Amino acid sequence: MRRAKGFTMIELLVTLAILGMLVSLAAPRYFGNIDKAKEDVLREDLYLLRDAIDKFYSDRNHYPEKLDDLVTGLYLRKIPPDPFTQSSRSWVPVAPLDPNLGAVADVRSGAPGKGRDGTLLKDW
C-alpha cells in the first residue's frame, strides 16, 4: 500500500499554531517601534522648525508672519509634515508675547494624543 503525499491536518494545525505564536510576539514590538520612530521624527522636526524661526528672528529682528515665510526666506526647503498627522498644515504656531514682533515665535504639533512618556504631543 502506497502512502499518499501531503501533510496531515495535525501537521498543518501545529505549523499554524507556531506561526501564530511568533506573530503574537513580534507584532507588539513592531508597532512600538513605529510609535518610537514617529516621536523621534517629531522631535527632530520641531528642532528644525524652531531653529529656522530663531535664525529668521536673528536676521530680521522680527518673527515670521506664517510658517511659509521660513520657506520663502530660504530658511527651510519645505515645511516638514507632522509625522502623526501626515500634514505640513497641522503645525500650531505660537505667537510671541509682543504682537508687534510677528506671529510665529514657536511651533507645536497639532497631533492629538500622548507620547510614550505620557505627555501630550501638542505640548512638545
Domain boundaries, the chain: 39-123
What are the grid coordinates assigned to 20, written together? 501564530
Partner residues linked to 86 by β-bridges:
none
pLDDT for 1: 61
Residues composing the chain: 124
Q: How many CA within 13 A on the CB side of residue 98?
A: 5
Residue 44: what are its φ and ψ, rounded to 5°? -65, -45
Q: Please tell me whether residue 48 adopts helix, strand or coil conformation.
A: helix
Model pLDDT, residue 30: 77
User: 3-class DSSP state for residue 87?
Assistant: strand
Q: What is the pLDDT along the chain (124 residues), one digit of tens a residue?
A: 667 777 889 999 999 999 999 988 888 777 778 889 999 999 999 999 999 999 999 999 999 999 999 999 999 999 999 999 999 999 999 999 999 999 999 999 999 999 999 999 999 9
Q: Say what the pTM is.
A: 0.77
For residues 103 and 80, what is the distance between their CA atoms, to the nearest angstrom?
A: 19
CB 56 within 8 A of CB 73: yes
